[in-house]
Amino acid sequence: MKKTLLMILSVWVGLLSAISLAPAALSQQVVQYQIAARLDPQAKAVVGSETLTWLNPSSDEVRELQFHLYLNAFKNEKSTFMRESGGQLRGDQAEEGKWGYIDVQSIKLDSGYDLKPSMKFLHPDDDNADDQTVMVATLPEPVRPNGTITLKIDFYSKLPRVFARTGYFGNFYMVGQWFPKIGVYESSGMRYATRGQWNCHQFHATSEFYADYGAYHVDLTVPSNYVVGATGVEQGNHPNKDGTTTHTFVQEDVHDFAWTADPTYIRMERLFDASRLTTAAEISDVARLVGRSPEDVSLQNVRMILLIHPEHAAQADRHFRALEYGLKYFGLWYGRYPYPTITVVDPAYKAGGAAGMEYPTLFTAGTGWLPSSPPSGLEEVVIHEFGHQYWYGMVGSNEFEESWLDEGFNTYSTSQVIDTAYGPSSLSIPFMGIPFSWFISSIKYFEDTVNRLETLGSTRRDYIVRNAWEYYDQTSYGVNSYPRTAATLRTLQHLVGDQTFARIMRTYFERWRFKHPTSNDFRAIVNEVAGRDMKWFFDQLVYSSNILDYAVDKVSSERPKLSLGLFDDPSGKRKEVTEDDRKKQEKEAADSKKRNDSLFESEVIVRRLGGVVVPVDVRVVFENGEQFDTTFDGQYRWTRYKFLKPTKIRYAEVDPEHRLLVDVNLANNSRTLETHHRAVVKWTSKFMFWIQNLLMSLMALV
């Protein structure tokens, strides 16, 4: 009897220990997916079935369910995506006869009730009745508040020739947006919803994805010679009698699932060893910077997995090193990466359409064919796409509606990592044998300069915040969503100070991870942490298309001249000052110049040429080394500064510390007194204009 009691007690202790050690869910798990999928290499298709359990997170009774069917974007030229993109994206062109689509073959409640007769396609964003990327199914009974519903769905996904993030080329498969994925139900007060509603946008050329967090259990069956990578942790695999192998992947607290397969992959694995790659001093320094304890800032170990093609195997170290930097600096600055694995995918030759794309715990990079030394585009792509694990992955903003919170925040963060890890001029491009950083050495960080120059390519037709499909064109979407946001955030950092901004970003990440924030939520945190209302900044630089441009318009230094005419002296006598008197005075002043005891009347005029009004620092430097610093509030269009000193002005400059990265014309920020220096400024300005346009042209080819 005692043995039996001890056995029962030990079992209970074991169970309680297992429960206590099990990690708590990091998110409200609104969705639970259990998917079984089989790759058909001959048909270039995936045959799948999913069991979906959806939690109604609202206080509403929900009477219909909406789903993303994004592979239908590649079904024909009438889809919204194809109309907007013109059948090309990132230099890739859709191929006739290589279409993709997804068919929902069956959709039933777990009770067996058939929802397929109620299925229809919606087009909530435009009037394109031919678009089939959003599906709705009407329920026989509503899902009650905080209630759940379980569906069983059979689907067939025909993959396109690799294009716009997903598809195949030869035996390479990048399988994204491949299963029926439920949209986000937003209750009144969530984000911008004034009433309960589905947020389920069509698939557009200039946006990506938005979904709720949950748990995925996915069984992938592929030919046994294929190497597989996927979102989450592979819990096991087993061979089948038909020459296939089933791989099981599991992951919680993510909002999407993607996978890849290729028989030629070389699978490499290394450990991100937090204790080896971060020092106590680094942790202590960051803890002070962000106002957290060293324990809060410390990182955890992560399994890094690289799936790379043989012809790129020599670049494996560079992939791992860049990934280490991403895990390290994103983790230290914003919060530790919480998942046990991260997988980097190197797309196959001629599968560039799959490159540079992010999914939870998995992303695609891209190795260029041109030889280059680290760091280069390879490193930047790896760090940028990893960064989406934070800005999109854990902080689940809606990129359809506020792409700057995703792409822009990540562009800013990538810039900081590149400059910190590799050095301020690490990605400097040589031009005619001269490092490009030589031409832009007035700005401290090269990445800041790149973001600024890319921003200048915009004609500012749009605000930063706008629905992704409503920008003037794809260029405007790209500029506003990526570099203009990065330059704007960097400007905000300069205005509030490095420490304050580091705490802003840390607080924003911590408060909104595994949730769905808005631009207003970020602005509220800026005001809270900075301790002042920054509405003026957001109104002008985020919700406006006005430009910021301050200029030194005039610099002069002249000796005072005698005024001609009749003048009364203190004794009451009247005396006439003649031209001869003036010439005599000028001769005496010229003689005294050698003794450096002559006074000069100097003047500086600073102008605000753009519509954006921000305080700007002004610096006047005199020939004797004396320096005058002040701030122009910019409220009026110009201001004048006058000086009476025994020395001339050497030069005057606005924004001498280069805090305003969104200033559209740095060439007019300073002016010297000497005429020949003005010519230098003029021609340097023109040269920079040529460089800028060359870079923009090159970027258009990428």
Place of tokens 């760091």: 375
Q: Contact 652/623 with Cβ under 8 angstroms? A: no
For residue range 337-371, list pLDDT tens digits in order.
999 999 999 999 888 888 899 999 999 998 765 55
Nearest to 461 by CA among 470, 451, 450, 471: 471
Residues present in the chain in total: 702
* Two domains, one topology: 24-257 and 550-564+596-674: yes
pLDDT of residue 304: 98
Amino acid in position 483: P
Q: Contact 562/577 with Cβ under 8 angstroms? A: yes
Cα–Cα separations (whole angstroms), residue 564 to 386, 581, 583: 74, 9, 11
CATH architecture of 550-564+596-674: Sandwich (2.60)
CATH code, 407-420+432-541: 1.10.390.10
Structure confidence at residue 646 as a pLDDT band (50, 70, 90): very high
Q: Could you give the CA distance from residue 137 to residue 122 in angstroms, rounded to a whole number? A: 10
Instruction: Enter the DSSP assignment of 622.
Output: E
Q: Could you give the CA distance from residue 16 to residue 145 in angstroms, rounded to a whole number? A: 32
Cα–Cα separations (whole angstroms), residue 613 to 13, 452, 534, 548: 66, 19, 13, 7
Least confident of 15-19, 404-408, 620-624: 15-19
pLDDT of residue 684: 52
pLDDT of residue 113: 98
Percent with pLDDT over 90 in the chain: 73
Domain boundaries, the chain: 24-257, 264-389, 407-420+432-541, 550-564+596-674
Buried b (16+ CB within 10 A) or exposed e, 19-55: eeeeeeeebebbbbbbbbbbbbeeebbbbbbbebbbb
Token duo for residue 296 = 């809060």
pLDDT of residue 7: 43
Residue 384 pLDDT exceeds 80: yes
623 burial class (0-12, 13-18, 19+ CB within 10 angstroms)? middle
pLDDT of residue 440: 36
Structure confidence at residue 92 as a pLDDT band (50, 70, 90): low
Which residues on neighbouring strands pair with residue 451, listed in sequence order? none
Q: Contact 348/262 with Cβ under 8 angstroms? A: yes
For residue range 158-193, list pLDDT tens digits in order.
999 998 889 999 999 999 999 999 999 999 999 999
Q: Which CATH superfamily is domain 24-257 in?
A: tricorn interacting facor f3 domain (2.60.40.1730)
Q: What is the Rg, in whole angstroms, of the alpha carbon atoms belonging to the chain?
A: 31
Least confident of 428-442, 517-531, 648-662: 428-442
Nearest to 212 by CA among 54, 26, 31: 31
For residue range 219-231, list pLDDT tens digits in order.
999 999 999 999 9
Structure confidence at residue 415 as a pLDDT band (50, 70, 90): very high
C-alpha torsion sign, points 699, 700, 701, 702: positive
Average pLDDT over residues 611-631: 96
Residue 411 pLDDT exceeds 70: yes
pLDDT of residue 371: 54
Q: Contact 146/56 with Cβ under 8 angstroms? A: yes
Residue 194 pLDDT exceeds 60: yes
Q: What pTM was estimated for this model as a whole?
A: 0.87
Nearest to 126 by CA among 87, 162, 94, 84: 84
pLDDT of residue 372: 64
Average pLDDT over residues 437-456: 48
Residue 287 pLDDT exceeds 80: yes
Q: What's the number of CA atoms in the CB half-sphere (13 Å) around residue 511?
A: 15
For residue range 326-341, list pLDDT tens digits in order.
999 999 999 999 999 9
Least confident of 50-64, 239-253, 358-372, 549-563: 358-372
Average pLDDT over residues 387-409: 97
C-alpha torsion sign, points 410, 413, 417, 419: positive
Average pLDDT taken over every residue of the chain: 88
- Compute CA 441 distance to the chain's CA centroid, rounded to the nearest angstrom: 25
